[in-house]
Structure 1
Amino acid sequence: MAHTPRWNATDIPDQTGRTAVVTGANSGLGLATVDALARAGAHVVLAVRDPRRGEAAADTVRGARGSVEVRRLDLADLASVRAFAAGWQGPLDLLINNAGVMNIPESRTKDGFERQFGTNHLGHFALTNLLLPHVTDRVVTVSSGAHRLPGNHIHFDNLNLTGSYRPITAYSQSKLANLLFTLELQRRLAAAGSPVRALAAHPGWAATNLQGADASALRRVVMRVGNRVVAQDNRAGALPTLYAATQDLPGTSYLGPDGLGEMRGAPTMVGRTAAASDAGTAGRLWQASEELTGVAFPSLDGQEVTAEAARP
């Protein structure tokens, strides 16, 4: 039987002439994503909270066939999100919502949201909708296998988990929100007659600096061991995102590693929980997110889609 080579970053189609934005791009999965897209010829914008660190990261990529630039974006500050979007001009082929925080101690964004939900979901929700009139091809949002945590759901009566905060509960809620956001975004794009697609991906277990911020000392130890024994490196962890970003896939596709437990391996289509597939919950989350951020789905080519439009 002939051996089928595993898909990797060298299989990315030529990206010359395409522009991408990658959030959280100064390290880890984000920087690996930037590097691969730039090597394939794209112009990639590193959207980062700390431009100085972003420039240092960009220096490791410069010299690739494509080009890179750094722009400031703090997803935990809606004013920063609005400023980034207001400064955008021209077409944007690809938006990759990669940035995130994981299992951190309880804290708030500048706008008062629980930081994991506010950064991982609400910041990207606002950014996507504000940039959407410029997007020509697709939006890829990075979720996590943590969305499968037993009993995980959107806490609509207490999205900030006030008085009942647990780091893992907050993180898994935010990752479930990423998938529900992708589901509802695709529904709205289709209803508006837009060719833009919304997709999601997860990296499996990738050794990144996210684990070092875990609120639990015990989990930090477990993560350090797992990073050495189980985890993929950043380049392998970025492959599902890159596959979602560059292959001809339908909207709402969810990509992850093909290995045992989706921990590592080559990118492939993967499943999601029933909670992550619930269109009613996705619509409710979208409405709540609009109310919290003050950002709504934009008019595309003069056709605006409301929360009720085109709903079965």
Structure 2
Amino acid sequence: MTNPVLTIVVPCYNEEEVLPETVFQLSGVLDSLIEEQLISSSSTMLLVDDGSKDATWPLIEQFHSVNPFVTGLKLARNAGHQRALLAGLMKARSYADCVVSIDADLQDDVDAIREFVVRYREGYDIVYGIRQSRSTDTWFKRATAQGFYKLMTRMGVNIHYNHADFRLMSKRTLDELDKFQEVNLFLRGMVPLLGFRSTKVYYDRKERFAGESKYPLKKMLAFAFDGITSFSVTPIRFVTAMGFVLSALSIVAGIYAIIGKLLGSTVTGWTSLVLSVWLIGGVQLLALGLIGEYVGKIYKEVKRRPLYIIEKEAISDSTQLAQSHHQHLTKSAPSSGS
């Protein structure tokens, strides 16, 4: 087996504080893997600047000029973590045999990448990085994260417990992922749908090396809700079931009121009336909001706007040569039917 070309894709948003250490550690990983002859010497890292407002892109250009491992993409605007990650994956698949995605904050263990590559060489197309535990999280974050994974599983979404976006994917899995034309991206749910041979590597998650988290509680909740509504219609079915239950209760209440009227034991109760109005009104607004969320997703899908726009690239000549050579081989390869 020839040594595969590995690309490490790193989405970056306002990461000027941690980026020098990220490049240093990932360069060490690539150096070590090349020395062990586990990967090709043409392997690189691809830093994707997701419309940062700080010096992230100038730093990427600076590292690119002095470090042969470093390549970069700059998106024209802040497209969001999932789209920036997808931009890097789609770019890397044109010249890499396998791609590892990892966040720039160094919370994921970079040493686990070696095990990813070993598993890839054993024949696995997808290798998931799984956290051993959440001992470093606060009680609130641990409880909400575990609740999210359990909720997604109960709703029928195939998602790996304690897995974020730290994974290895082979070129053929990325080629298939490119066929997913979804605007509402939730890669943690999309990748398992590919169905290729996969395995897991467990690691201990670290504290953020520097800078601030780009996922405060508000963004985390929005991300979780987006994942749920992108992969399951269970919330809509729940609203339907709740409508049936309330309808049944209203029929029972109506029968009770008629019987009370006939028996002459009716009692005027403003409290129960007001509570009923507020309850039904609240449920209706909840249902409309949930339906509106799904309609909004359909609206985004049908517009077919590009997921991201690449403004600049910092790609070495050797990488571009490998890319053009790879594309030439792909075009000249005989079809399976010939």
| TM-score for the superposition, normalised by structure 1 | 0.34
TM-score normalized by the length of structure 2: 0.32
Tell me which protein shows more helix as a share of its residues: 2
